[in-house]
Chain A
Amino acid sequence: MIGTKGTVEAVNGNMVSVRFDGPVSMNEVGFVKVADKQLKSEVIRIRGDISQLQVFEVTKGIAVGDTVEYTGDMLSVEVGPGLLGQVYDGLQNPLPKLTAVAGMFLERGIYLDPLPSDVAWEFTPVAKVGDTVERADTLGTVPEAAFTHRIMVPFGLYGTYTVVSIKGPGSYKLRDTIAELKDEKGNTVPVSLSFRWPVKRPIDCFVERFKPTEPMVTRVRLIDTFFPVARGGTYCIPGPFGAGKTVLQQITSQNADVDIVILAACGERAGEVVETLKEFPELKDPKTGHSLMERTIIICNTSSMPVASREASVYTGVTLAEYYRQMGLNVLLLADSTSRWAQAMREMSGRLEEIPGEEAFPAYLESTIASFYERAGTVRLRDGNVGSVTIGGTVSPAGGNFEEPVTQATLKVVGAFHGLSRERSDARKFPAIHPLDSWSKYKGIINAEKVSYAHGFMRRGSEVEQMMKVVGEEGTSIEDYVIYLKGELIDSVYFQQNSFDAVDAAVSPERQKHSFALLLKIMATLFSFPDKNEARSWFNRLRQKFLDYNGSEWQNDKFKALEKEIESTVAEQSKGLDKAAEKILAL
């Protein structure tokens, strides 16, 4: 097929105006030829016979009169076996392979096949000749890492098809035809192990979308116990720079209880991305014992990569997530940071000279953010299996001001909000998620009434603290002071976690339930102290034991001994249980 051609009329930054001579569609990909290079671009506006293309590369060297070739395809990703373990840029270029071709630096105009075409996959057919199939139906399977990768009817084949031929069990390469399908008009379509799908169109080959109910355990106490995330749900982590978003995401990506994790970095620091790139292959997946990288895909767009590629990266990430969901798997997409993505949108909108909205963001900011998060969900597939895509996005508002447009637009559409606070991170409290500002609409691993009872101490403790700022410690009753100390205890031994400590960095749900029960009992216990100094020093001692307890291996001797010590320390000072709490403890 001969595509439409065009010539460059104007260059302004990374936008090129091109006069074209045939049909051109919106979001179509075109290549601008400059010297010996072809620069990938996307059509973002068409007026008469001029199309405007956003070039995904540096535009230096382009001249008026240079040729442009349109491809006829929207910006798409290739899906098929071999995606797991890959490190891509936002345009699905495999970065490690790029090294072999381009060397050390990110030379422009070099595009490689996203999937290895020379690897042989062990194919087992599922469908038979004569079967009637629809898009996303399974034709066969190949093993990929620890998963059974389904070879499906390409999602772009709308209507019903009959299987005309299908290969028997054996090894096949990516581009080998493994089946032929006949449509209702009698046309035959060959199917191979992979196909392409446009990133900006959600994959919708499912029967039903459910309300997310099952918790997605992250092993962060503050999240799992207090502000849980659900599989198939959405959550956001806004916070100023330096408040700990990155560390939190790294911990989540390693510990989240899902099958596959996709990290989409849009405009992040190379120095931090490299940590993930180098560490993941070294880390072991606690579930399989294999490298964590075998269940991970990294979309890595550092801040110095071209803006349009950064804009594309979250879509590339979510499309791959949806693809694996079609296999009945649970996938987590972590987008870091959606503010950089929104900023890329703003930059492109400015270049198009669109009328700017609030803070110069484009008017369609909210709807774009909403439709991105709406691509999450738990769904029932045509074969009855259930899969999910969970989306967690970080937001980086200026100065941590959550009133700004990106945070606000995100808050409208997510199910949980983990707001990071500058004060908490300044005081080196990790995670710096604010326990009073954050919320979640999902069900967690612990009874909600118990959680709410414990949370009450944090809330009331903070009220007492505020009051003390007005009337002083001397003007506070000892009862209120003890509530304040209880709140402080929850904060320091449960909300906070030591991310450097091998044991405390990631806590299993069983252990969370166990130590939460212990803490809840302390909350419910009535204490009496002669004065505030005694109270403070007793709580200091208790905190010390609890911190050592948090750092001991689950259920080893030291752990058990420290637990006994905590219990006896509490018993020494106990004046019985709060009557109101007895009911809650019994739940």
Chain B
Amino acid sequence: MDLITVSGPPSSGKTSILLRTIEHFKQRGLHVGVVKFDCLFTDDDVYFAKLDIPVKKGLSGSLCPDHYFVSNIEEVVEWGNNQNLDILITESAGLCNRCSPYIKDIKAVCVIDNLSGINTPKKIGPMLKSADIVVITKGDIVSQAEREVFTMKVQSVNPKAIIMHVNGLSGQGAYELSTLIYDKDKHVATLEGEQLRYPMPSALCSYCLGETRIGKKHQVGNVRKIKLGDS
């Protein structure tokens, strides 16, 4: 089974392009499964289930979704192997711009949309910086020039990535993407001992651990104070 991790800002079009791409996998007779990671809510699993493929979801609730992802990915891989999948795809909404779920040697796809503004590429950090393939969506509704400028911005944040333009509505580009992300010779049996591409923030603070009271005396762990200055 090959494993593909897909990440990207909320509503960037991850599910749309995956649905289109999976259709092409299915036409080739490949057995695909999806696990969707989100924070509080998702009904993406319903859309994937409509393709008649195995799908699971995991909600991280109070945790950073990427932290939650790493804590669970090994079990997810086991599930995929038990389902006899050819391809297991994880989709996670990148809510925390400081983390990314990518694992060394596992194909990492970042989905980002043309409408998000030209400064977005530099804001979203590791999720974009360390992806192998960057898929840009919603090119059907912005001008050619804006697409070109946006592509350049993405390229300057991650020059080594393959950049693909895929339309989540019409599916234009999804076939091409399907040929790029799947490697039939890759068999991921376990992720035991594998490493994340990017270190997650090194420590948790009291609020990460469930503290709700505000004020210095309730703060333990890694507390970083905002620099406000005097003026």
Are A and B a genuine interacting pair, yes or no? no
